Amino acid sequence: MRGMCTSRRLLALAAAAIAAATLHAQPPQTRFDVLIRNGRIVDGTGAPWFRGDVAISGDRIAAVGPLAGATAAITIDATNLVVAPGFIDLLGQSEFNVLVDGRAASKILQGVTTEITGEGSAIAPVNDRMMKDAQPAYTHFGVAQDFRTLGEYFKRLEERSHTTINVATFVGAGGVRNYVIGKDDRRATAAELDQMRQVVAQAMEQGALGVSTSLQYVPDRFATTDEIVELAKVAARYGGVYFTHQRSESARIFDSLDEVFAIAERATIPAEIWHLKTAYTPQFGKMAEVLRRLEAARARGLDVTANQYPYDRASNGLDACLPLWVREGGLDKMLARLKDPATRERIKRDMDDTNATTWENQWQGANGGGGVMLSSVLNPELRKYEGQTLSQIGRSMGKDPRDAAMDLVIADRGESSVIISIMSEDDVRTALKHPLVGVGTDSGTQAEDGRLSESKSHPRAWGSFPRILGKFVREEQLLTLEEAVRKMTSKAARRVHLSDRGLLRPGLMADVTVFDPATIRDVSTFEDPRHYSVGVRHVFVNGRRVVADGAITAERPGRPLRGPGAS
């Protein structure tokens, strides 16, 4: 740890020296498209802020420093404001949502300019069976299912589905397994594994950042470590990385960490743990040990890191409250099991098992129905239950909360989401102040109006970045402003090999966030989530202003960002 701190101090000193040199290097150009004057520049390196100007020409940062005498088509007075690189959401989940509403409103008003997505299952590639499974959401939101490959999805973003933010994605190993095998609990044959390798290779060539897993869920859970290693090796050949929702975040978390480290080592690939947490009461207080093991893995040469969202409640599908064997085989098999009275009794017994080892029993981890809140549904007839716990819904229905959960899964055909109380705020703080841990919302973009305002959601979709800057930086001083911005920008960009973003440097892409450090804060709550954060004043994406004086503009300059293997 001491060596790590020394290295980071040297990096900060070097960055400060570069910034100082930039201050004295007056560029020959004096006319720019945008000039942001007199801001507190937090450049993304972690170095101390300095007073200066930022100039933009076209889609690039043109100059950083004192630009006396310069003029521009647009000039912004940033006195008392922070000028930072655009924030990078390391798990944005908006790949579908931006097709519904290109504003990406709840994200861009946090200062997010780029989203990384594709947790276990990506939006593409898909086959006929997968398209049929996804069809209810596409139909409900009026989105055409007119792409199958990742390349076709990116082309759609470029040509027709314009958005405010940049989008980059992994190819999900679970999605690849579903594409080739389906959702059955069995090992891949040699021929199937070879086909899976080919699917990963094609996705990498079309721009995937790497390969990902979501090992708590079906069908990712059925993959062996060996299978994951083989797919990660393909991604590594293209310069990709491996991100994972690890197999256990609770009772077997240390075994799960060992699996992450083994995959990184055997595939010779950088690895990152998504939304790091120590879940369920028996694990509270173990975050320090998790981080120590992460440091130890790095000390022996493994390039492993993590990210998190700054809340003590998680969110996923309501069907994740059901035992793994219930979800195996896909939606139709799951619904048939839920409709069988004898099987339901077995399900309820398993949901009450406090010693489950074959699956992550989040129902028990949340202490039953009182810790599970229904957050969103697709079926409008069920919307009256949003914001209620399963205990409350059970009382309203006159049912056992476990029966209520199963009936909601049936009625919404597995589309419902829940918020689960499974984490400790102290563990959240411990992770947040650690330099190896970055930031991701783990939620798709939402809006106060339009189609994405129909349902409730986790507040992390609305407030993760401002919450860190307001609550944990300004109010609690848990970490410095410069360190928080580094986590949100350059750390994230380096992790997924976005070499032209994440810093305020001449020649890099002009993704810029300007915010008020005195007022930035999250407003969304678990009970009343549909509120934008405040304090973000201006946001530029690829040089064009998507937020002006706190309001979203008509500009839609977001781009698909392709990974290192793209041809």
Range of the domain at 362: 316-421
Total domains in the chain come to 2
CATH code at position 308:
3.20.20.140
Q: Is the pLDDT of residue 91 over 80?
A: yes
Residues 125 and 175 in one domain: yes
Cα separation, 360 vs 342, in Å, equals: 23
Residues 415 and 486 in one domain: no
Torsion of CA 440, 443, 446, 451, to 10 degrees: 150
Q: What is the pLDDT of residues 169-220, one digit of tens each?
A: 999 999 999 999 999 999 999 999 999 999 999 999 999 999 999 999 999 9
If you average pLDDT over residues 512-533, what whole number do you get? 98
pTM: 0.94
HSE on the CB side for 110, CA within 13 Å? 38
Q: What is the pLDDT of residues 224-251, one digit of tens each?
A: 999 999 999 999 999 999 999 999 999 9
Q: What is the pLDDT of residues 471-492, one digit of tens each?
A: 999 999 999 999 999 999 999 9
Q: Which helix (H) or strand (E) segment is 121 a member of?
A: none
Confidence (pLDDT) at 357:
87
If you average pLDDT over residues 547-552, what whole number do you get? 98
Query: H helices then E strands: how many in the chain?
Result: 20, 21
Residue that terminates a domain, selected from 498, 530, 547? 498
Omega cis (within 30) before 401: no
Confidence (pLDDT) at 28:
64
Strand partners, 169: 117
3-class secondary structure, 370 = helix
Confidence (pLDDT) at 286:
98
124-129's contacts with Cβ under 8 Å and 24+ in sequence apart are: 124/148, 124/149, 124/150, 124/152, 124/153, 124/203, 125/149, 125/150, 125/171, 125/175, 125/176, 125/179, 125/199, 125/202, 125/203, 126/175, 126/179, 127/179, 129/182
Q: Is the pLDDT of residue 23 over 60?
A: no
Residues 182 and 288 in one domain: yes
Cα separation, 455 vs 422, in Å, equals: 22
Q: Locate all alpha helices (DSSP H) within 79-189, ordered by sequence.
A: 97-100, 105-108, 128-141, 150-159, 173-180
Residues 392 and 491 in one domain: no
Q: What one-letter code names the amino acid at 491?
A: K
Residue that terminates a domain, selected from 421, 437, 453? 421
At 29, is the pLDDT very low, low, confident or very high (cuts 50, 70, 90)? confident
Helices 341-351 and 331-338 pack at an angle, to 10 degrees, of: 100
Residues 293 and 427 in one domain: yes
Closest CA to 283 of 405, 430, 417: 430
Residues 331 and 437 in one domain: no
Residues 412 and 433 in one domain: no
Radius of gyration of the chain (CA): 23
3-class secondary structure, 480 = coil
